[in-house]
C-alpha cells in the first residue's frame, strides 16, 4: 500500500522483507522493524503510529505487559536506526501519549 502510493507520486522505492538491502541506489527503502536491526540510515520515517498498527496486535499470546514491552523494544529499534533525522507520524489519535 505505501509502496504503490509512493510510486504514484513518482518516487522510486523498494520493499525488502529481509536484511538484503541495496544501498547502492538512491531510492526509498521500505523495511520492517525486524529487518532493520543493526542497520543505520540518515533519515528514517516511522508511519502509522496508531493502535493496532504500532503497537501491532499480533502478539495475542502474550500478557499485556509483555506485549507492551515487545512493542516498545521494536519501536526503539526503529527510532535508533536514524543517524541524522527521524520522522514519526500517525493518521489518527496516537496510540500512546509522550508522557507514558
User: Which are the contacts of 50, defined by CB distance < 8 A and separation ≥ 6?
Assistant: 90, 91, 92, 93, 94, 95
pLDDT: which is higher, 7 or 17: 7
Fold (topology level) of 2-88 = Rossmann fold (3.40.50)
Q: Which of 2-6, 27-31, 55-59 has the lowest mean pLDDT?
A: 55-59
Closest CA to 28 of 94, 77, 87, 74: 87
Convert the pLDDT of each residue in 52-86 to its tens digit: 655 555 555 667 788 888 888 888 999 999 999 99
C-alpha atoms less than 13 angstroms from C-alpha of 22 in its C-beta half-sphere = 9
Give me the pLDDT at residue 51, please.
66
Which residue, chain included where needed, has cell 523495511? 31
Amino acid at each position: 500500500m505505501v509502496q504503490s502510493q509512493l510510486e504514484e507520486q513518482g518516487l522510486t522505492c523498494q520493499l525488502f522483507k529481509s536484511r538484503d538491502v541495496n544501498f547502492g541506489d538512491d531510492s526509498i527503502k521500505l523495511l520492517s522493524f525486524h529487518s532493520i536491526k543493526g542497520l543505520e540510515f540518515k533519515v528514517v520515517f516511522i508511519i502509522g503510529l496508531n493502535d493496532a498498527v504500532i503497537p501491532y496486535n499480533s502478539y495475542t499470546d502474550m500478557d499485556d505487559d509483555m506485549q507492551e514491552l515487545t512493542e516498545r523494544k521494536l519501536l526503539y529499534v526503529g527510532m535508533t536506526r536514524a543517524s541524522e533525522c527521524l520522522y514519526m507520524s500517525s493518521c489518527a489519535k496516537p496510540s500512546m501519549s509522550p508522557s507514558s
